[in-house]
Amino acid sequence: MLATMSVGVGCTGFFQNPVLTGLTVGPQSPNIQQGSTLQMNAIGTYDDGSTKTLTSGVFWSTSDDTVAPITAGGLITGASSGTATVTASASAVSGTSIVTVTLNNVTALTLTPPSLTVQKGNSGNIQAFATAGGTQIDVSATVSWQITDSGGNIPSTINITTGTSPAVVTVNNSATSGTYTITATYAGTTQFIKTAPLTVP
């Protein structure tokens, strides 16, 4: 009887279920076309070092249903141009991935204003619009922004925000006066690149 009880206690100590400690959402930072779908997945990491793709018990959510709505099973749809953060949660553990939705029928890219002047110590706004189906759509939060000087170098004293509309250009007091180039790159079915001069008096 004592031997049997000893074995039972020992089994309780040895066969504990591993505890979920981390959650990775994949794919990470995907780009999808408007109108297309993508299956997201959640990979759990446990305290015993093991990993497992979770097929149940996962709650999916998105930061913007108008850009990338998601089903209870983790299937996202590219609804409109922009970015959205997809979150998977399970057992008080969560993970995220940022999804970018691009338009599939872009014919042109324009910047507004077409040129920008910003005084030292100040900031200015600029927006990018994609022409799709004859309509101009704000894609400022989706394009890749970059500022370069006349030599093609990226100045450390001038910054531009990404993922926002409008994009904000900030010129430090220590910036060198002159003309710079603002470049916006939109990577849809076809890549579009548009530039605008930035003048720092």
Q: pLDDT digit string (tens) for 5-58?
A: 344 444 444 567 899 999 999 999 998 988 999 999 999 999 998 999 998 999
Length of the chain: 201
What would the mean pLDDT of 69-79 be, rounded to a whole number?
A: 96
Q: Which fold has domain 106-200?
A: Immunoglobulin-like (2.60.40)
Determine which of 12-26, 64-78, 117-131, 137-151 has the lowest per-residue pLDDT on average. 12-26
Could you name the CATH architecture of 19-102? Answer: Sandwich (2.60)
Average pLDDT over residues 75-81: 93
For residues 173 and 186, give the distance between their C-alpha atoms in angstroms, rounded to a whole number.
30
pLDDT at 131 over 60: yes
Cα–Cα nearest to 88, from 22, 9, 33: 22
Asked if pLDDT for residue 3 goes beyond 60, the answer is no
Mean pLDDT (whole number) for 149-164: 95
19-102 and 106-200, same CATH topology? yes
Tell me which residue has tokens 């141009």. 81
Say how far apart CA 130 and CA 74 lie, in whole Å: 29
> In the β-sheet with 20-26, what is the strand arrangement from edge to edge?
20-26, 41-46, 51-54
Other CB atoms within a 10 A radius of the CB of residue 149 amount to 17
Backbone CA torsion sign across 188, 124, 166, 97: positive
Q: Where are the domains of the chain?
A: 19-102, 106-200
